[in-house]
Amino acid sequence: MPEEALGALAACGIELSTTELLEVLWLASRLPTDSSAPVARALGIPADAPRGTDSEPSHTGDGSDTPRQLPENPEALEDPEEPSVATRPEGRPAAPRPVRPSAALHATAGGVRRGTKGRTGASEPPAAAPPEPAMPVRVPEDKAFGREAVRLSRALRPFKQRHPGRRREFDLTATVAAMAETGLPDVVERPAAERWLDLSLVVDDGVSMLLWRRLATELRSLLQRLGAFRDLRVYGLNTRGEGPPRLRGRPFDPDVPTLSPTSLIDSSGRRLTLIVSDGVGTMWRDGRMDPVLGCWALHGPTAVIHALPRRMWAGSGISTENWRVTTRRRGAANHTWQVADPLLPPDLAEFGHVPVPVLEPRSQAVDSWARLVTSPGARAELPLLVPVRSGATGMAAPGSGGSADAARTVLRFRETSTPEAYRLAAHLAAVAPVSVPVMRLVQQAVPWTAETAHLAEVFLGGLMRHTGSADRLLPPQHRAFDFVDGVRGILLDTVPPVELLRTSRTVAERLARLVGVSPDFPAWLAHPGGSRSLSPAGRPFAWLDDRLMTHLGASPATPEAPAVPAPAGQYALPLPPGMDTLAGWHALRSQDPQSAGRYTLRMRKDVGRRAVAYVGEDRDGERVIIRFSRQSDWVVARELLGIERNALLRMDGRYAPAWIEDDLNEELPWLALELATTEGGDPAPTLRAVAQAAGWFLDPILYLRLGLHLAHAVSVCHLRNVVHGALTPDDVLVTERSVQIINWVSALVDGASSALPQSVPVATPYRAPEVSHWSESRTRSSDVYSVGVMLVEAATGWTWRHFQRDILRRDIRFSRLDGSLRELLLSCMDPDPARRPTARQLAEEFAEHLPEPVPDDTEPDAAPRDAPPGDPPPPAAHEQRTDDGGVTEEARRREFLRMVRGRLHGPRHICVLAPKTSMGCTSATAVVGALVAEERRERVLSIDADDNGQIHLDRRVYRSTPAVLADLARSVQNIEGYEDLRLFLSEHRSGLAVLANAHEAHQDATRLTSLGDFSTADFQAVCRLAERHFRIVLTDLGRPTEATAPLIGQADRVLIAATADAFGVQRAGQTLDELADLGYPHLVPTATIALLQSRFATEASRYRAPLEHVRSRCRGAVVIPWDSHLNSGSALEMSWIAPETHRAFLEIAALLLSDSPG
């Protein structure tokens, strides 16, 4: 038995001895088995998870009492919205909580999150949503010194001196000399050399010094690494409040005992004292700090490091004048210095107090002072502290401002600050309340050069106050600051919202660059699994994608799945966890082309050190694959790319990238193809990259689905009379939805290919043995051979040849596959092409091994591409009718798909109305928009213009921006391209983009401006802008009224959402009458009605008569079955919608987009 276990582990790549195996088993028997186990904590298994349940995702479904339902859609294998089965746990409650998952990063959080009782059976959540949960993460921040740290360290090197100390050591040379002279064995000692000075670093730890906490921390680390001081101790200095100044044993910690300033006095004079302060504390301004500094300066070298830039010193409590200083001996106390005026004679200008130099944290200033202190008779001109005169005032610390009028406060700040500081204040106001590290991130992200001095102007300019909500147990970085009441709205109106959103995007990009290479600080990520709750008034300072969330240690936020997941997701391809999807994609080289037509190249895909594809991007941000030929000869390159284009047109976007455009007459011919992306938005990895990331021991479900998709792809290719001819793992792209085959230069279309020798497939282990330079040798069987070798390699981790089949049979990794599947894969590698199975047979075998039956997806459903891209061909005549002459459901579905994917003769603006609040208007808008975007493979915009609904569109997607419709209307003139417009939109994975509205529940938290609701002119301006980037726009308008009548005028189609009962049908008919009364009778005949059923549906016979009457007046009325996911109020996941609900919305989309009679 142990030998078998050791053999199995060795086959997995884990080499263990018998002793090590026994130790592992011993440890496993003693580890906890509940949620406190390390693995359970790492997987996030809840403490109340019952024993014996699947807390982890189920991959196979074995043992399930309820079999998974299957989609009736034969194209479910290519569903772009389906999630992996590995991410959908079984047995969840039927109604998920109405959360709004997002990747918003906040500077502060509220209290501890409390559990709320879940709702069941409700069609809409309450208007007041519960506080959003949040989890703590460590976010990188910029360094205070940067490159200046190296120069500053060099400036402090003069202190690295060694002087004779009290300890004595053996002097070998003197001992030998003494013994030679006296002849006596006597030992001579000498004072041991030791570091010269001790250092006391005193940090002013007032509220305003939080801005310079990073500077003090880095200064301490720099002094420690310098190795120049015998002892280094750090103290806090309290310069606020009543009484004399007091020291603390640790800065920014009010709970530690206080010390007297005299505790730093060293009677030997070998203690250097450095004070780091911004001079804002009251004791600097009223003179109480002067005696303390004088006392320290009488007993050793003392200096003040001013955190503020020098131009701001006059406004603080630390003012200076330049004097010429001469020292008599090294390391002398300050009172021994000779001080003289740089210009006037000593008789006319006398320095009458103890000199204390004030230094900038710059290498030039520190270098002059260090050389002065460490050298006898040195001379330098330094800024020395001037004692405070009676009645002197200065800038106030944050939080000391009163309740002055906001307009006067901003005006006073505007008059006294620089223009850069004024603009920076607006950018900080957009994300307030903020912590100090967030302020620094914003300062670095603004589109102009903002210095720390500008940030100090805002921080100390009377605009900000301490919120007082920080817990005393939290670190100082969590202390939040907000703007004085009324100031934020004034500042936000001074900057275009698009500029604020650009800054937020730059912050996220900067965080991605700093991860792992910079110090970090705590922040709060909005996440359903968080233990704290966010404050309703909090605003995010950055929006993170899934990749950056993973880098910060948080899993991407996803809504909870309903109890019965949608069947379409059963054919998803879960990529290996932790996989680098950008593996193989590299930055451009100098010899690479930089553009292709209107596309700018961004990345290159390498195979064998040669680029095979590039990622291009146009001005609107649309990314595509750019294909060049490897051949330098123009004629050859043009012919090879022409072959690839013909093959792609024949495939028509099915299991292959859709052709977009090309230019084969350019000096460097190119093709532009649709870019396949992962759910994270990265270019799709190749099959080789997926197999390498997963290892040979692939997840069995992943392996079966991968084989099924790949066999389907080749089968569809053959059914369209196309032979690829040169399949390799680098020619197969894998996404969570399906696979795509690329690199078709060796393809045969209708048996014809290029006669050029360059089109001959390269000799690789995946090429069938019969393939040669003759095009006739490339057959369907040779493609099957390549597929078989790739699937065997994915299962074993090795590349096998046809003559190694006997060895392969005995391979322990290959033997883990089912017997019939092993035999079929071996048949694929048979040297005789006649003995190989077809791609269809291979797909059927893989389908039989899946835990559920798989619908056939390889029927011949398309002729060569003559129709517009994406149009599904009509089914055969025998498939369109049932036995009694009726139309089959499959024929209807195909017809609806054809109508949805058909060409549009112009922009289509659809207005979604509802006769009453909470009738599903928002759900209909979101689902129709996502479905159309998914099926047409293009962007679709949904605008939330309903102020009365309880669920808004921003809760149906992953909210990724605080911008709303009014903000975009204000920034229309500043939008330069789609990348700018994208800053205002929250995007769904299907391609749906949502423009949110400032509804009452979240108005204060999401607005970037202080303006009121949008006007008709604003809406019209946004619609004109949207038409430049979207061909299909949906507007969630709610109930039609006189006020919304001008907005309805922008639409050319209307969708009315109502309840599926007699009352709902009656109200839908009244809405048609209201449209005519408002002056839009032309919209009535083309209107579509969506009747949404409740959980307890009313029998259709009760409202059949009024329904037929309403149908006679409009284009059509469709009953939408009740769906638990849509009624949960959570973010939309198309793959979790029930199949019958999906088909009903598909019919609605077809009626809205098609111009043919309904």
Alpha helices, DSSP H, located in 536-633: 546-551
The confidence score (pLDDT) of residue 569 equals 44
The confidence score (pLDDT) of residue 112 equals 53
As a whole number, the mean pLDDT across the chain is: 77
The confidence score (pLDDT) of residue 368 equals 92
Mean pLDDT confidence for 1124-1128: 80
The confidence score (pLDDT) of residue 1 equals 55
The confidence score (pLDDT) of residue 550 equals 64
Spatial contact of 266 and 252, defined as CB atoms under 8 Å apart: no
Q: Is the peptide bond before 433 cis (omega within 30 degrees of 0)?
A: yes
Burial of 184 from C-beta contacts in 10 A (0-12 / 13-18 / 19+) = exposed
The confidence score (pLDDT) of residue 636 equals 80
Alpha helices, DSSP H, located in 383-520: 406-416, 419-429, 436-445, 452-459, 487-492, 497-514
Categorize the per-residue pLDDT at 274 as very low, low, confident or very high, splitting at 50, 70 and 90: very high
CA distance 522 to 274: 29
- From 775, 752, 774, 772, select the one nearest 763 (Cα to Cα): 772
pLDDT in tens, 1041-1066: 887 888 888 888 999 998 888 888 88
Give the residue, 233 or 15, on which the prediction is more confident: 233
Mean pLDDT confidence for 941-945: 89
- Provide the token pair at 127: 């208007």
Mean pLDDT confidence for 711-720: 90
pLDDT in tens, 293-335: 999 999 999 999 998 888 888 888 898 999 999 998 888 999 8
DSSP 738: -
Q: Which of 414-418, 565-569, 744-748 has the lowest mean pLDDT?
A: 565-569
CA distance 287 to 390: 8
Q: Which of 338-352, 366-380, 452-466, 564-578 has the lowest mean pLDDT?
A: 564-578
Alpha helices, DSSP H, located in 604-699: 634-651, 687-694
Question: Which amino acid does the sequence have at 759?
Answer: S
Angle (nearest 5°) at CA 760 between 759 and 765: 130
909 pLDDT higher than 70: yes
- Please give the full DSSP string across 1088-1114, using - where no structure is assigned: EEEEE--SSPPPGGGSHHHHHHHHHHS
CA distance 675 to 623: 6
Categorize the per-residue pLDDT at 366 as very low, low, confident or very high, splitting at 50, 70 and 90: very high
Mean pLDDT confidence for 800-819: 78
Categorize the per-residue pLDDT at 1101 as very low, low, confident or very high, splitting at 50, 70 and 90: low
Categorize the per-residue pLDDT at 223 as very low, low, confident or very high, splitting at 50, 70 and 90: very high
Compute CA distances 1077 → 729, 1053, 1055, 1083, whole Å: 63, 17, 17, 11
Beta strands in 549-702 (DSSP E): 585-587, 595-596, 599-607, 610-617, 623-628, 659-663, 670-674
Residue 272 C-alpha from the chain's centroid: 47
722 pLDDT higher than 70: yes
399 pLDDT higher than 80: no
Task: Tell me phi and psi for residue 458, to 5 degrees.
Answer: -70, -45
Q: Please write down the HEC assignment for all residues of 25-70.
A: HHHHHHCCCCCCCHHHHHHCCCCCCCCCCCCCCCCCCCCCCCCCCC
90 pLDDT higher than 80: no
Give the residue, 789 or 563, on which the prediction is more confident: 789
Tell me the pTM. 0.54
CA distance 332 to 335: 8
- From 778, 793, 792, select the one nearest 827 (Cα to Cα): 792
Spatial contact of 1120 and 1144, defined as CB atoms under 8 Å apart: yes
CA distance 921 to 926: 9
Mean pLDDT confidence for 1073-1089: 89
pLDDT in tens, 170-198: 889 988 898 898 888 888 888 888 888 99
Categorize the per-residue pLDDT at 1147 as very low, low, confident or very high, splitting at 50, 70 and 90: very high
Spatial contact of 79 and 737, defined as CB atoms under 8 Å apart: yes
The confidence score (pLDDT) of residue 980 equals 86
Give the residue, 141 or 153, on which the prediction is more confident: 153
- Provide the token pair at 648: 């792609």
The confidence score (pLDDT) of residue 235 equals 94
- Provide the token pair at 470: 């920080």
The confidence score (pLDDT) of residue 121 equals 34
Give the residue, 673 or 401, on which the prediction is more confident: 673
pLDDT in tens, 960-1012: 788 888 888 888 888 888 888 888 888 887 888 998 887 544 444 445 554 44
Q: Which of 23-27, 103-107, 357-361, 1138-1142 has the lowest mean pLDDT?
A: 103-107
- Provide the token pair at 183: 């002849």
Burial of 225 from C-beta contacts in 10 A (0-12 / 13-18 / 19+) = exposed
For residue 1110, give every residue at least 6 positions away whose Cβ sits within 8 Å of its Cβ, in sequence order, or none: 1065, 1068, 1069, 1072, 1089, 1117
- From 1143, 1149, 1136, 1134, select the one nearest 81 (Cα to Cα): 1134
828 pLDDT higher than 50: yes
Q: Which long-range CB contacts under 8 A does 860-864 form with residues at least 24 apart? A: 860/719, 860/720, 862/652, 862/654, 862/720, 864/649, 864/650, 864/720
Alpha helices, DSSP H, located in 742-865: 780-796, 805-809, 819-828, 839-849
Mean pLDDT confidence for 252-261: 86
Beta strands in 681-774 (DSSP E): 722-723, 732-734, 739-741, 748-749
Categorize the per-residue pLDDT at 14 as very low, low, confident or very high, splitting at 50, 70 and 90: low
67 pLDDT higher than 80: no
- Please give the full DSSP string across 392-418, using - where no structure is assigned: ---PPPTT---S--HHHHHHHHHHHS-
Categorize the per-residue pLDDT at 81 as very low, low, confident or very high, splitting at 50, 70 and 90: very low
162 three-class SS: strand
* Residues, the chain: 1158
Spatial contact of 136 and 533, defined as CB atoms under 8 Å apart: no
585 beta partners: 605
Mean pLDDT confidence for 869-874: 41
Mean pLDDT confidence for 511-520: 65
Mode of pairing for the β-strands spanning 197-204 and 271-277: parallel
- Provide the token pair at 81: 């919205």
Question: Which amino acid does the sequence have at 123?
Answer: S
472 pLDDT higher than 80: no
Neighbours of 265 (CB within 10 A): 16
61 pLDDT higher than 60: no
Instruction: Give me the percent of the chain exceeding a pLDDT of 90.
Output: 13
Spatial contact of 772 and 757, defined as CB atoms under 8 Å apart: no
The confidence score (pLDDT) of residue 784 equals 92
574 pLDDT higher than 60: yes
Q: Measured between alpha carbons, how far apart are the two ends of the chain, in Å?
A: 69
Name the strand (E) or helix (H) holding 178: helix 172-182
372 three-class SS: helix
For residue 109, give every residue at least 6 positions away whose Cβ sits within 8 Å of its Cβ, in sequence order, or none: 134, 136, 524, 532, 533, 534, 535, 538
Mean pLDDT confidence for 228-253: 89
- Provide the token pair at 214: 């990073």
Mean pLDDT confidence for 559-570: 42
Spatial contact of 1041 and 1068, defined as CB atoms under 8 Å apart: no
385 three-class SS: strand
CA atoms within 13 A on the CB side of 135: 16
Sign, CA dihedral 104-105-106-109, equals positive
126 pLDDT higher than 80: no
Mode of pairing for the β-strands spanning 189-195 and 162-170: antiparallel
CA distance 424 to 444: 10
The confidence score (pLDDT) of residue 233 equals 93
DSSP 227: T
CA distance 216 to 1153: 63
Q: Which of 539-543, 839-843, 942-946, 1018-1022 has the lowest mean pLDDT?
A: 539-543
Mean pLDDT confidence for 867-877: 40
Name the strand (E) or helix (H) holding 179: helix 172-182
Question: Which amino acid does the sequence have at 924?
Answer: A
- Provide the token pair at 1146: 């598909």
- Provide the token pair at 970: 């204000």
Mode of pairing for the β-strands spanning 302-306 and 739-741: unpaired
Q: Which of 577-591, 683-697, 833-847 has the lowest mean pLDDT?
A: 577-591
The confidence score (pLDDT) of residue 696 equals 55
Compute CA distances 397 → 210, 466, 476, 726, whole Å: 11, 10, 16, 71
The confidence score (pLDDT) of residue 1059 equals 86
704 pLDDT higher than 90: no
Q: What interhelical angle do 700-719 and 839-849 show, nearest 10?
A: 150
